[in-house]
Each structure stands twice: as structure tokens, then as C-alpha cells.
């Protein structure tokens, strides 16, 4: 009885402390921002269409616009940064529009590491275990997801044999909404969220992408615009997926699910759910999660089992550093920094 009372008190204290807000920051751009990578409380990177790349080194007090030569027309949906000097960019699109760039000098120079040569491929997102080991996902080519991997800091990117990847369902694809339809954890765990077809699934690998298994989730699917849009894991067992239908931004239905067995099975969030379509999700700390979408953002204190509204300002993507510092980015150059009230 005492333990239950103590647990209830602790939960009440956490709920009281968590309400927070996004503090608007001046990005200096009107581009649609889709990628964000929080390094620490001072350093973060953001990316978007029209070749847009931004970086802050002062906690967001100012954002520096960075030019990637020859990439002015590209749509950078994903940025993965490791410090103020090292970052990767992924652009989306058919054929050669899908590219990966890397800088090791803070954005002064960029190396084009990968250019997609398959006219049927369309790369959506990437994720990195560390600065040298990363993985990227394309929509299916001839009914198989195309997945590439690097183990040498992007100097080479190699395709994972398609025979090791479950066949795609009719109409199934991944979503490039926030660069977070793929996530990694530990040294070899990786998950990919899908949709657009007969089911919203999670592809899972525990050996660095060498082999894969697929699990069906209860996230809504069946339309080209519906499915899983973002995946996050806090450890090898506990994770969350969010999504919905991006054509129905305010529809709060079958838009979040959780797992406690590493993604083998998924449980639908049915009572207190996110307030609409959600395109990005990230663990803040412990069991606290933040999800964002065009019509607002939500938070959960219990690994995604229950959600409450954070605020009605919309964002496309969100990311938190291990320190708890976090940013969200969205349309018209919108950037918000997370701050507890």
C-alpha cells in the first residue's frame, strides 16, 4: 500500500513538472524545415527544402545558414549531426535527387558521398549508430525495400542483399516527412516504420541490418497518405511509433503504438492519444516522449501509453539530445526550442 501511494505521489509530481512549451527562435529562412538533429544544449542542426541547412552553436540564439554547393534545389529531409563540425545530410527524390552529403568542418565544405543511380529508388531517411556506422532506407524497388549501409563514415555505402529483407506489401513505402521513419539503438539494432499499403509495419534488425523481420502494427493504413511516419526507441525493448494520415492532420485515430519486446509486437494507444496526425517523435528522457505534427504537439510520461497536449503550434520534426535539450522544426522556417515551464 505504501509503495503504491509513493508511486502515485511520484507520478503526480512528474505530471506537475512536465508542462512545457516551444520557445520560437529566428531561423532567418522561410523554407519548409523537415530535419533536425540536437547535439547538446548549444549545438543543433536543421535542414529543409531549397537546399536549406542551418546550424546553431549558441543554443538557438542565432542560426547560421550554410550552403551546400550544387544542392540549392534539393530537399534535405534528414540531418544527422555529431558535433559542431560533423554532420550528414540526406536529400530525397527520384533517381539522382536522392543523395547523402557529409561535412567534417562545420559546413564550410561538403563531400557528396552517395548519389542514387537507381531510377526506381527514392530515399527517405537515414540513422547512425555512431559517426562511422549508418544506414539509409529507400522506398521499395521491384517489391523490395532498398537499404544501404556504411561502416567507414560514409566513404562507401553498400546495399544490403534484398533477399534478407521481407518483401514489400502492395503499395507499401516509407515516409520522408521528418527523416525519422528509421531509427537505431545500441550497436546493431535498427527499426523502420512503413505505411501506404495494406498494413503499417515495422521492419526490425538486430544485426546491423544484415537480416530483417517484419511486424504488423495497428497504426492506420490502407491509403497512400497513411501509416507510420516516425519511430523512436529508448532502449532495445521499449519503443513507440506515431503517424496517421497526413491528408487528415486533425484526425486523432490509430496514430500511436508502443512495444516492450523490441518491436516484435505492437499495442495501439487507445485512450489518451496524440491530438492528430504526428510526423515526428523523440524520447526526451527516461519514459518521457514528445510527438509533433502540423496541428500541434503532445507529450507522454509513460513510454507512450498515454498522451496529453503540449501546445497547438505545429511542427514537422523533433529531436532531443541526451542532455534533454531539444528542438522542433516546421513550415515557413519555424524553429522552437523546448523549455519546461
Per residue of the chain (341 residues), give pLDDT as tens.
444 444 444 444 453 455 678 999 999 999 999 999 999 999 999 999 999 999 999 999 999 999 999 999 999 999 999 999 999 999 999 999 999 999 999 999 999 999 999 999 999 999 999 999 999 999 999 999 999 999 999 999 999 999 999 999 999 999 999 999 999 999 999 999 999 988 899 999 999 999 999 999 999 999 999 999 999 999 999 999 999 999 999 999 999 999 999 999 999 999 899 999 999 999 999 999 999 999 999 999 999 999 999 999 999 999 999 989 999 999 999 999 998 76
Strand order in the sheet with 189-193: 182-185, 189-193, 200-205, 213-217
Distance CA 96, CA 126 (A): 16
- Measured CA to CA in angstroms, residue 248 lies from 11, 16, 52, 227, 274 at distances of 33, 32, 27, 12, 13
Q: What is the pLDDT of residue 341?
A: 66
Considering only CA atoms, give the Rg of the chain.
19
Specify whether the CB–CB gap between 329 and 33 falls below 8 A: yes
CA distance 22 to 17: 15
Residue 325 has what pLDDT? Answer: 95
d(CA 182, CA 196): 16
- The span from the CA of 239 to the CA of 260, in Å, is 7
Query: What 3 state SS string does 137-205 have?
Result: EEEEECCEEEEEEECCCCCCCEECCHHHCCECCCCCECCCCCCCCEEEECCCEEEEECECCCCEEEEEE
pLDDT the model gives residue 11: 42
Q: Quick check: 338 and 327 in contact, CB under 8 A?
A: yes
Instruction: State the chain's maximal CA–CA distance in angstroms.
Output: 66
SS3 of the chain: the string is: CHHHHHHHHHHHHHHHHCCEEEEEECCCCCCCEEEEEECCCCCEEEEECCCCEEEECCCCCCCEEECCCCCCCCEEEEEEECCCCCEEEEEECEHHHCEEEEECCCCCCCEEEEECCCCCCEEEEEEECCCCCEEEEEEEECCEEEEEEECCCCCCCEECCHHHCCECCCCCECCCCCCCCEEEECCCEEEEECECCCCEEEEEECCCCCCCEEEEECCCCCCCCEEEEEEEECCCCCEEEEEEECCCCCCCCCCEEEECCCCCCCEECCCCCCCCCCCEEEEEECCEEEEEECCEEEEECCCCCCCEEEECCCCCEEEECCCCCEEEECHHHCEEEEEEC
Q: Virtual CA dihedral for 52, 148, 138, 162, nearest 10 degrees?
A: 180
Superfamily of domain 22-340: YVTN repeat-like/Quinoprotein amine dehydrogenase (2.130.10.10)
Burial class (CB in 10 A: 0-12, 13-18, 19+), 148: buried
Amino acid at each position: 500500500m505504501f509503495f503504491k501511494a509513493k508511486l502515485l505521489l511520484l507520478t503526480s509530481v512528474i505530471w506537475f513538472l512536465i508542462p512545457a512549451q516551444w520557445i520560437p527562435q529566428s531561423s532567418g529562412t522561410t523554407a519548409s524545415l523537415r530535419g533536425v538533429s540536437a547535439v547538446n544544449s548549444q549545438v543543433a542542426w536543421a535542414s529543409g527544402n531549397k537546399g536549406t541547412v542551418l546550424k546553431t552553436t549558441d543554443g538557438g540564439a542565432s542560426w547560421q545558414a550554410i550552403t551546400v554547393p550544387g544542392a540549392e534545389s534539393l530537399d534535405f529531409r534528414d540531418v544527422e549531426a555529431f558535433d559542431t563540425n560533423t554532420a550528414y545530410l540526406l536529400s530525397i527524390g527520384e533517381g539522382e535527387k536522392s543523395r547523402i552529403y557529409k561535412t567534417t568542418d562545420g559546413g564550410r565544405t561538403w563531400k557528396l558521398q552517395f548519389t542514387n543511380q537507381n531510377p526506381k529508388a527514392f530515399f527517405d531517411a537515414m540513422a547512425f549508430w555512431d559517426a562511422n556506422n549508418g544506414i539509409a532506407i529507400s522506398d521499395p524497388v521491384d517489391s523490395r525495400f532498398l537499404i544501404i549501409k556504411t561502416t567507414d563514415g560514409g566513404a562507401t555505402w553498400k546495399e544490403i542483399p534484398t533477399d534478407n529483407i521481407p518483401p514489400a506489401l502492395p503499395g507499401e513505402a516509407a515516409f520522408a516527412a521528418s527523416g525519422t521513419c528509421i531509427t537505431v539503438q545500441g550497436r546493431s539494432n535498427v527499426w523502420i516504420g512503413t505505411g501506404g499499403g495494406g498494413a503499417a509495419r515495422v521492419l526490425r534488425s538486430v544485426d546491423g541490418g544484415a537480416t530483417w523481420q517484419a511486424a504488423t502494427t495497428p497504426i492506420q493504413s490502407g491509403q497512400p497518405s497513411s501509416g507510420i511516419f516516425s519511430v523512436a526507441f529508448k532502449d532495445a525493448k521499449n519503443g513507440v511509433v506515431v503517424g496517421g494520415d497526413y491528408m487528415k492532420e486533425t484526425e486523432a485515430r490509430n496514430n500511436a503504438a508502443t512495444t516492450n519486446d523490441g518491436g516484435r509486437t505492437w499495442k495501439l494507444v487507445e485512450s489518451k492519444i496524440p491530438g492528430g496526425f504526428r510526423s515526428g517523435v523523440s524520447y526526451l528522457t527516461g519514459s518521457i516522449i514528445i510527438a509533433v505534427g502540423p496541428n500541434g504537439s503532445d507529450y507522454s510520461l509513460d513510454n507512450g501509453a498515454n498522451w496529453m497536449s503540449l501546445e497547438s503550434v505545429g511542427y514537422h520534426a523533433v529531436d532531443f539530445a541526451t542532455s534533454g535539450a531539444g528542438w522542433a522544426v516546421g513550415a515557413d522556417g519555424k524553429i522552437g526550442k523546448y523549455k519546461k515551464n
